[in-house]
Structure 1
Amino acid sequence: MTNPMRGVFAVPTTPFAEDGAQNLEALSRRIDEVVAAGVTGVLGLGATGEALALSPAEREAQIKTLVSAVDGRAHIVIGCMAYTPAEMSAQISRAAGWGADAVMVTPPFYGGLEPDAVIAALHPVLAAAEVPAMVYNNPHSTGTDLLPDHLAALADTGGLWSIKETSGAATRIRELRETLGQDIEIFVGADGIALEGFAQGASGWVAASAWLLPEHCQRLWALADSGDWAGAVELWTKLGSALGLIEGSSAFVSLIKQALGRRGHEQGPVRAPLPTADTESLTALLDAIAALEEER
């Protein structure tokens, strides 16, 4: 499948109000700011968005809010993560019906499945998907590392749009590109190795950090995509410090939320059981962002 959706996809957090409900007004405001920075799209209801902590009604409200706030200015991808293929397909149908341009699925989590079993589960899901699908390879969270040859077995479904690659393997982006060719988009999914992924032929970047620093993330991609590697390396040496602090924290969702709150974009707390970032980590991130912005 050839699809023009490539570039930076910002991954929203889910803002919560003081009473614990979703703060959809805050979400809409931040969406407007992030889209205005020039990102290609928004990937909602991923791990950064605390999707597994949301009720079905909250998922519906958030998807409809994303579609309304983006208003056709960027692509919308919705995470459809579930244990069973049937539930994945149901989530995909609902997301497509509410206006999503594409969806993201993961291997069934907590199953300890071998890659061949994962591919067998995902194959009918992608074949029946009403919109293009991204497969998220995240062995740290799912327990299954999908190698290029495994993922190639999904190409005949007609529904495989892209791969979000987060294994951290040094040469994996290049190997995926060599195996899957140019018709499947390959996205860097780990913020701390974005530039390395671009250099290996990535189609773009699914970036939690772009919710916090959309202008910088978009500029890094634009420099690399245009072939200005000197400019990209120069920016990366400044941006990488902040992204490394986010990527390396087990409380990265809270860290992004708190940093946004300190910068005037209140996101509220995380929902249990996610951890809350400590003051030292938040201070380090804010200092790194301040240093980055001083050098612009």
Structure 2
Amino acid sequence: MTSTMRGVFAVPTTPFSPTNTQDLDALRSGVDRVLEAGVDGILALGATGEALALTTQEREEQVRAVIEHVQGRVPVVVGCMAYDPRDVADLIDKARDWGASAAMVTPPYYGGISAEATVAALEPVFAASTLPLLFYNNPHSTGTDVLPAHLEPLAAHDSFWAVKETSGAASRVRELRAALPERVEIFVGADGLALEGFVQGATGWVAASAWLAPQECVRLWQLADQGEWAQAVRLWRKLATPLGLIEDSSAFISLIKGCLTQLGIEQGPVRPPLPTAAPEEIQAVLTALQDVQEVAHA
């Protein structure tokens, strides 16, 4: 499989109405906003979208709404996360039927199973998948850090499209690039390490922050992709501050939603038990973003 899916993939929030139902019209408006800013793709049902807080019906409604509204303008990746690999395979089939371009899978949650056991559990999923697959390495949430060498058996399958790397290990993107075939895309998943990942050979960025600051995130990627490193570093020196504030907060979903709401893009609250960001946290990010915009639009 030859991939043409790279660049900045924005991860939507899930706007909620005052009655705690998802606001699909607000979601569609958000899709338009990030597409106008130039993002290269959308990743629906990620952690930023509170996917695990949604009902099965809400997830389907959200995915269908995003895919139908995007209308093929960019690829749409759907998070297909479950403990049992058989459920993961079923979710992938549903995402395919709904019109998804690709699916994202993770190690089974909870229990801290070994990396080897993770790969063994997911190998039948990769073997049978009819969609390109993005493997999401997120040891902070799953309890399992899957190293580059562990992924080599999965890379034998044509369905292995990309890795979203969120371990935070300083040299991990470089190690992934060395271990995996060139056709496998490497996406930065930790927003606070975006430029470091691009320098090491990452070919994209699954960016929660791109739902808040899409133009700035897209600009950083474009500069890096074009080899304009001096300008990229200049922008990153500003952009890293708000992205780091978001990345380091346990209330990062609420932080993104709160900033958008303050900017007049109503998001509603997060669903419990997710924590709510303090007003001063929101203001700190908004203040830092003002400095970024002066550089990004120069």
1:6 aligns to what?
Answer: 6
2:267 aligns to what?
Answer: 267
Distance (whole Å) between structure 2 residues aligned to residue 33 and residue 115 of structure 1? 38
Which residue type is aligned with residue 291 of structure 1? D
Shift of 1:294: 3.9
1:86 aligns to what?
Answer: 86
1:166 aligns to what?
Answer: 166
TM alignment of 1:43-192, pairs within 5 A: 43-192=43-192
Give the TM-score normalised by the residue count of structure 2: 0.98
Distance (whole Å) between structure 1 residues aligned to residue 225 and residue 290 of structure 2? 26
Give the TM-score normalised by the residue count of structure 1: 0.98
Distance (whole Å) between structure 2 residues aligned to residue 293 and residue 179 of structure 1? 37
TM alignment of 1:10-21, pairs within 5 A: 10-21=10-21
1:48 match: secondary structure: helix
Distance (whole Å) between structure 1 residues aligned to residue 204 and residue 293 of structure 2? 23
Q: Judge conservation of contact 2:138–2:165 (CA < 8 Å) in 1.
A: yes
Q: Judge conservation of contact 2:8–2:217 (CA < 8 Å) in 1.
A: yes
Distance (whole Å) between structure 1 residues aligned to residue 37 and residue 291 of structure 2? 20
Q: CA offsets, 1:190-248, max 9 Å, x none?
A: 00000000000001100000000000000000000000001100110111111111111
Distance (whole Å) between structure 2 residues aligned to residue 239 and residue 248 of structure 1? 14
Distance (whole Å) between structure 1 residues aligned to residue 174 and residue 243 of structure 2? 22
Shift of 1:18: 0.4
- Length, aligned pairs only: 296
1:25 aligns to what?
Answer: 25
TM alignment of 1:244-259, pairs within 5 A: 244-259=244-259
Distance (whole Å) between structure 1 residues aligned to residue 28 and residue 262 of structure 2? 18
Distance (whole Å) between structure 2 residues aligned to residue 290 and residue 148 of structure 1? 38
Instruction: Give RMSD over aligned pairs.
Output: 0.8
Q: Percent same amino acid at aligned positions?
A: 59
Shift of 1:127: 1.2
Distance (whole Å) between structure 2 residues aligned to residue 22 and residue 31 of structure 1? 15
Distance (whole Å) between structure 1 residues aligned to residue 165 and residue 294 of structure 2? 32
1:164 match: secondary structure: strand
Q: Judge conservation of contact 2:44–2:63 (CA < 8 Å) in 1.
A: yes
Q: CA offsets, 1:90-113, max 9 Å, x none?
A: 111111100100000000000220
Q: Structure 2 stretches of 5 or more lacking a match? A: none
Shift of 1:287: 0.8
Distance (whole Å) between structure 2 residues aligned to residue 187 and residue 48 of structure 1? 16
Shift of 1:152: 1.0
